[in-house]
């Protein structure tokens, strides 16, 4: 097939465009779902104690939420680790969310596309009602 035919053949051209769109879409979705495990250096975030009884929340400068040696990453009341404060859009439940490391590419490859979505969604699922419509608490709400 001559290259010119590729461009003039509408069906082929359409499927090429569709293919490219799909790739871009997948990439954008992936970026959105896995924005990186670490927040920007020293981001000011609303954090919440992971202890069910304590639930103390505070506004802290977080370098690495997983760093247990950073006093900003442990609860000032009970000493348990804190997570980012997330709120459920459906039931208004607030919970502590600790981002886990994104699985290595090898493991990710094993997951089907829907599996990847499931994985990312499960992490931020509302522990109260199971909704995935959760969002980080804005700092100015505190």
**What are the start-end ranges of the H helices in the chain?**
3-8, 10-33, 105-110, 113-123
CA pair distance 126, 11, nearest whole angstrom: 44
Binding mask 10-49 for Zn ion (x = CB under 5 A): ---------------------------------------x
Does 73 sit near Zn ion (CB under 5 A)?
no
**What are the start-end ranges of the H helices in 9-104?**
10-33
Smaller CB distance to Zn ion: residue 38 or 80? 80
CB of 32 to Zn ion, least distance (A): 21
End-to-end CA distance of the chain: 64
Residue ranges in contact with Zn ion by CB under 5 A: 49, 51, 54, 56, 75, 77-78, 80, 88, 90-91, 93, 126, 128-129, 131
């Amino acid at each position: 097939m001559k290259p010119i035919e590729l461009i003039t053949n509408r069906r082929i051209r359409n499927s090429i465009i569709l293919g490219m769109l799909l790739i871009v879409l997948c990439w954008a979705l992936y970026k959105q779902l896995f924005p990186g495990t670490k927040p920007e250096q020293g981001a000011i975030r609303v954090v919440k104690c992971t202890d069910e009884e304590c639930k103390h929340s505070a506004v802290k400068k977080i370098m690495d939420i997983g760093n247990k040696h950073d006093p900003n990453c442990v609860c000032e009341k009970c000493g348990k680790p804190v997570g980012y404060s997330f709120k459920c859009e459906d039931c208004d439940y607030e919970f502590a969310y600790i981002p886990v490391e994104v699985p290595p590419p090898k493991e990710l490859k094993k997951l089907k596309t829907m599996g990847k979505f499931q994985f990312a969604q499960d992490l931020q699922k509302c522990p109260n009602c199971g909704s995935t419509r959760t969002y980080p608490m804005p700092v100015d709400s505190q």
